[in-house]
Chain A
Amino acid sequence: MTTTERNMKALLVAGLAGDSEAYRTFLQSASELLRRFVRGRLARIGRSGQDSEDIVQEALIAIHTKRHTYDGETPVTAWIHGIARYKLIDNLRASSVDGRVVDPEDVGLGVQEIEQSEARLVIRKLLSLLPVALRRPVELVKLHGLSASEAARTTGTSEVTVRVNVHRGLKVIQRYCGVEGSHRDANG
């Protein structure tokens, strides 16, 4: 099941309003997200994934007990990853043999790296919401750094079409993110 940021937010908001079924679906989606995140992080630091399900469950419990901290503004995936990161570090600290305090930097969980990873995840999810005609120009111009003319050659369209589609794509993303107003750099 591919769950978008928007879907997860809708499920969480409905769950927090008292919809148990929506909340259960949200937790299931969150568990999939957590599983990928935890396994990826454990693999990166050379640890086996045998404890990953324990960490996922701890993170799910933390999501449940700290659900009042969701403010409706923060991206749900970023909120989940923030809790998952905390529980992962907590678990690594607890399981360290000599009781040494584990620094996030030591285990490749530097804040900048995590934020970049979360940003990549959010961007990927937001892009997946776009129709292909808009997604491709946004990816080429905004993510791969191609000029409008290069993107036009790649997609087989005109430069003007690329610029317009990038503009429209960013507008759609802004709407999904709840950002009002115009952006400064619409045409790359």
Chain B
Amino acid sequence: MRTDELIAELSAGSPRPRRCGPTVIMLVTVAIACLAVAIEASLWLGVRADLGHALSGNLTFVLNAVFIVSVGAIAMTTLRDLSVPGRGAAFSMMTMFVPFSVLGILALHEAHTASFHDLISHDMHASLLNCLWQSSLLAVPAFAILAIGVRYLAPTNLRHAGFILGLLAGAIGAFGFCMHDRHDSLVFGAALYVIGIVASAVIGALVGPRVLRWH
């Protein structure tokens, strides 16, 4: 087929886009992923009984949640940018380190308190691995839903997009897990959520070029 004929064919009829713009698509995709993980977390692990109280009065829980939401918000914006060809990223990669750095500093501060030593001597070692795989498993449906949404857009740097997608999926999985988890510790949160989110991001970078390819 000649290019002129192709152009005539493509422009025939209404060229209106069938769906919404990239920002709306990304927001809807993230909302669906969050909903899926919330349902999975509540059915599988259950929601901590004092969630309402923790949200209002438990500073450690709130700080962990703020960390997760911050990572998720930056990752979501970056993933939207990466899914539009030629669009510059709103945030630099250095921005991504800010929530990790803040949580790390707060965790180090907490590590100097007696309560940390109490925690580590009792059940931290035993439960960390258990929590880690539960949190990672929660990220799986989020990863799949986000991958479908991003493929509907047009990422052109698939490894980078995969990394950020993994980061976002890890954050959503961590958010689902924190609704269940009763370890109110920044040290525990820093270890669990950081490892879980980063591991998810690395997996995303590895599979991104395969999973996110569009035609």
Contacts and interface: CB of A to CB of B under 8 A. Distances in A.
Nearest to A79: B86
Contacts of B142: none
A153 to B, nearest CB: 37
Interface size class of chain B, counting residues whose CB lies under 8 Å from the partner chain:
35 or more
Interface centre among B10, B22, B85 (most CB of A within 10 A): B85
Contacts, number: 109
Given A74-B87, A82-B86, A16 B16 contact: yes
B154 A66 contact: yes
Given A15-B15, A79-B86, A71 B7 contact: no
Interface string A102-134: 000000000100000010000000000000000
Given A20-B15, A57-B6, A66-B153, A83 B85 contact: yes
Interface string A52-82: 0100110011101011111111110111111
B99 interface: no
A78 B25 CA distance: 21
B87 A20 contact: no
B77 to A, nearest CB: 13
A92 interface: no
Contacts of A79: 84-87
Interface residues of A, number: 42
B70 to A, nearest CB: 24
A119 to B, nearest CB: 10
Contact of B11 (A17, A20, A77): A20
A86 B10 CA distance: 20
